[in-house]
Amino acid sequence: MSEADPVCAMVVTYNRQPLLRECLDSVLAQTRPVERIMVVNNSTDDTAEMLRADYPQVEVLETGENWACAGGFHDGLTRQSATGEFGWYWLMDDDTVPTPTALEKMLGGLSRVGDLPPPAILASKVLWTNGDIHRMGWPWTRWDQDELLEAFERQLLPLSACTYVSMLVSDEAVKRHGVPIKHWFIWGDDIEWTTRLLKHEAGYLVPESVAVHKTKANYDPTQSNDVRFYYDVRNKLFMLRGDNWTSKDRFWFAVMIARTTMAYLVFNRFRPRNVWAVLRGARDGLLQSPT
């Protein structure tokens, strides 16, 4: 893979036209232009008409129903990878605003990889609107000391997983390891997919590549509503049942699930609807098929 390989920027959207406009305008303003922009449209409003009128250069994939990010990137990557036209896919939510040099800097990280394993994934540093690190965008790092030191020397951070917020993934990795699992819907679908890709591949965060995640607040899962946290519990249990983790990682992941769930219940004062979200998530995460 190289900096010159064609890039398809892929944005999944659902009924958020003002944010989508800001996202698309920032992609169009990149110092390293992309070869194509695809919007995967889950919307039920007139987003499609807005795109046709104001962004005729953008390819639109209409899903017909809302499968959130998991389904959107599943469909978009399946379609684009089949064409064989692109070396990289630049994935982002519709509330992602990459800075003008985000793509140029991210691809520029390739020149520093040297004799490290070539990346299947490159990721931006994710900030909130006030410049703080976004609590939902912090990447999962590899903890092998030699690996960390070698990457640090090249001003890179080795990844074990990351989110969809300004992430480059190679077409080769998509073809080798598949696409996100559609029915995971939201929350954890990106961690499962990138963990699956990076189990036998390399990925790096490039810190000088920056994107802003324009969520309403700089929150973490413990502060989410009951609908979203249901998916957080369900999908984390799906991951715990999978084979992307070592026994040690699985243990610490189980500890994290327990701590996050308790923090969520305490934050929401054990209200019945929040307790029910946890119980439903646990039931479905243990009984349903992850795939």
pLDDT tens, position by position, for the chain (291 residues)? 677 899 999 999 999 999 999 999 999 999 999 999 999 999 999 999 999 999 999 999 999 888 899 999 999 999 999 999 999 999 999 999 999 999 999 999 999 999 999 999 999 999 999 999 998 877 888 877 888 888 989 999 999 999 999 999 999 999 999 999 998 988 889 999 999 999 989 999 999 999 999 998 887 777 888 888 999 999 999 989 988 877 777 888 899 889 999 999 999 999 999 999 999 999 999 999 888
Question: In CATH, which of 3.90.550.10, 3.40.640.10, 3.90.79.10, 1.10.1240.10 is domain 7-213?
Answer: 3.90.550.10
Q: Is the dihedral of CA 54, 59, 64, 69 positive or negative?
A: negative
Closest residue by Cα to residue 118 from 169, 192, 177, 178: 169
CB distance 253 to 244 below 8 Å: no
Please tell me the predicted confidence (pLDDT) of residue 1: 64
CB distance 215 to 225 below 8 Å: no
Rounded to 10 deg, the angle between the 189-198 and 226-241 helix axes is 30
Please tell me the predicted confidence (pLDDT) of residue 234: 93
Could you tell me the CA-to-CA distances from 82 to 55, 67, 79, 87, 180 in Å, in that order? 24, 21, 6, 12, 15
Q: Is the dihedral of CA 241, 245, 251, 252 positive or negative?
A: negative
Query: What is d(CA 25, CA 23) in angstroms, rounded to the nearest whole number?
Result: 6
- Spell out the domain ranges in the chain: 7-213, 222-287
Please tell me the predicted confidence (pLDDT) of residue 12: 97
Measured at the alpha carbon of residue 219, what is the angle toward residues 215 and 224, in degrees to the nearest 5?
95
The DSSP secondary structure of 67-122, one letter per residue, reads -HHHHHHHHHHHHHHHHT--SEEEEEETTEEE-TTHHHHHHHGGGGTTTSPPEEEE
Give this prediction's pTM.
0.92
